[in-house]
Amino acid sequence: MGRFRVAVVSDINANIYALNSFLSFIDSGDIKIDYIFNLGNFTQRGPHPCEVFDVVMNDDRFINILGPSEYSILGKNNDSKSINDSNLHQDWIVDKLGDKRINKLKNLSTSKVLEILGQKILLVHTDNLKGLDWESRLLVSIMDKYRTEQLENNEVFSFDYIFCGNTNTQDLDVFTHPLSFPSRTLTVVNPGDLGCLINNLSSFTIIDFEDNKADISFKRVTFDLDNLIKDMYDNNVPNKEDILYSSYKIKNVDRILRSKDFLRDHVKNQGNMSIELLDLHNHDTEFFEKIVSLVSEKSKYFEFSCWEDNISLIDEIKNYIDCDIRKKEYYNDRFQLYCKGKISKDIINLIKSNSLDNNGNLKWCSISLSDSLDKSSTKFHLSNHDLKYQLFNLDEKDVECIISLINDENLHYKIY
């Protein structure tokens, strides 16, 4: 019947280095690739939205569908600009792509049905239900549960292969229709994640269709991560530190910036710093005490907050110092008490020695230190909601000192 070869990619994530590495791999081999199935999520979370778009939309081998990233862009383009920081990255992508590219996106669908050598194929990204037709919605909802539930739907088994972008893992599962005769099978393939690194590699899938069979092989390639980081900063990509952490597992990118000469221009030696505790049950009490000691030297006032029914914490403070106490509604008629006063040695010792419980959790709702009564002068804030240290208006010496204290794998920091 013939032979046909395809490559399947997903989640390029505006990473031109990963895309070029993939193209070099398939173009340098002896086997000709007839088509490339792109399962979406190719325009966001990276520094090269236009470069990636232009390749996948103009190379005739690519068959593209929309992922959640593209679908959200189409919705975003019809709305007014956001002033929410969490949407700044998407605003930046929309501006970079421009109207002409976004109009081309509108011609893509969120799923596509193909037939190759008599094999019926569905391309879809399982994160996205909105905009799918009824059959695709059904398929996706079932696929989201296929690990625990048997597939018995005739529409699902009308396909021979489903290629779905979903997670960064490479998966292949084969299902047999329990009632069909002769036996009817469905092969579901997740090609991996091209644009982000897993074990220092990006991943994709090659399928060699021949007659009624398909040889499926998972592939991985490297790409230039250092230059990707450089481009993130050179292009001033919004939320870049969070993207590098969540997508590339780079916990403290500042250490990389400081270690490489060509990245050192992007080092921030002063400003604000957030330090996130990744495991809330593994709080380094020694680090906590050192941070409090450092910040208290430049602070004159403290503020503690607790729930109004936890008056024992307020009484504990009163044993050390007279302070101003006020009550403020938090939400749904639940109130917090705020205790504010001047810092003393006794207060600092109390914070250092008696603010964490036996599990390392903050006993107070929050602790703040400042150098004046003006809230804008806050130097330090820690909340028991997420145990994220927030440090403000740090000079170069402060930053160097704090970085030297961060030697715990449980701490993720960024300077802004």
The mean pLDDT value for 78-95 works out to 66
- Same domain (yes/no): 396, 310: yes
Residue 228 lies in a domain: no
Q: Of the segments 13-22, 268-277, 324-333, 379-388, which one has the largest average pLDDT value?
A: 13-22
Residue 400 lies in a domain: yes
Question: Looking at the domain assignment, is residue 236 inside a domain?
Answer: no
From the centroid of its chain, how far is CA 319? 45
Q: Quick one: 213 and 298 in the same domain? A: no
Higher pLDDT, 159 or 6: 6
167 shares its domain with 275: no
Q: How many domains, the chain? A: 2
Burial class (CB in 10 A: 0-12, 13-18, 19+), 205: buried
204 vs 83 pLDDT, higher one: 204
Q: Is residue 246 part of a domain?
A: no
**What is the reported pLDDT for 2?**
73
Lowest mean pLDDT among 54-63, 230-239, 309-318: 309-318
Do 214 and 279 have their domain in common? no
Nearest to 290 by CA among 155, 172, 402: 402
Is 140's pLDDT higher than 70? no
The answer to whether residue 320 is domain-embedded is yes
Which of 183-197, 279-293, 333-347, 390-404 holds the top average pLDDT?
A: 390-404
Are residues 315 and 175 located together in one domain of the fold? no
Pair 191, 306 in one domain:
no
Q: Which of 112-126, 222-236, 334-348, 349-363 has the lowest mean pLDDT?
A: 349-363
With cut-offs at 50, 70 and 90, classify the pLDDT of residue 181. low
249 lies in a domain?
A: no
State yes or no: cis peptide before 49, omega within 30 of 0. Answer: no
One domain for residues 99 and 25: yes
Please tell me the distance from the alpha carbon of residue 307 to that of residue 330, in angstroms, as a whole number: 9
The residue behind tokens 């019947």 is: 1
Residue 259 included in any domain:
no
- Whether 81 and 154 map to the same domain: the answer is yes
CA-wise closest residue to 289 among 341, 338, 350, 339: 350
Region 174-201: what's the mean pLDDT?
77
Lowest-confidence range among 16-30, 155-169, 345-359? Answer: 155-169
- Concatenate the DSSP letters of all residues of 21-42 into one string: HHHHHHHHSSSPP-EEEE-S--
- Let me know: does 172 contact 187? Beta carbons within 8 Å: yes
Single residue among 221, 236, 261 that ends a domain in this structure? 221
Examine the pLDDT at 317 and tell me if it is beyond 50: yes
Give the structural domain span for 410: 269-415
Residue 124 has what pLDDT?
A: 87
Last residue of a domain, one of 161, 192, 221: 221
73/130 same-domain check: yes
Residues 300 and 215 placed together within one structural domain of the fold: no
Residue 10 lies in a domain: yes
Whether residue 62 is found in the same domain as residue 171 = yes
At residue 11 the predicted structure's pLDDT band, cuts being 50, 70 and 90, is very high
Which has the closest alpha carbon to 222: 195, 200, 250, 196? 200
- pLDDT over threshold 60, residue 76: no
Which percentage of the chain shows pLDDT scores above 90? Answer: 44
| C-alpha triplet 391, 301, 332: angle, nearest 5° | 75
Task: Name the 3-class secondary structure at 299.
Answer: coil
Among candidate residues 221, 242, 258, the one where a domain is terminated: 221
pLDDT tens by residue, 249-259: 888 999 999 99
Over residues 224-243, the pLDDT tens digits come to 999 999 999 999 999 999 89
Q: How far apart are CA 232 and CA 244, in angstroms?
A: 9
In this prediction, residue 81 carries a pLDDT of 42
Write the CATH number for 111. Answer: 3.60.21.10
The C-alpha angle 49, 234, 90, rounded to 5 degrees, equals: 40
- Does the pLDDT value for residue 133 go beyond 60? no
13 & 97 share domain: yes
Q: Which residues does residue 414 pair with via DSSP β-bridges, in sequence order?
A: 274
254 compared with 354, residue with greater pLDDT: 254
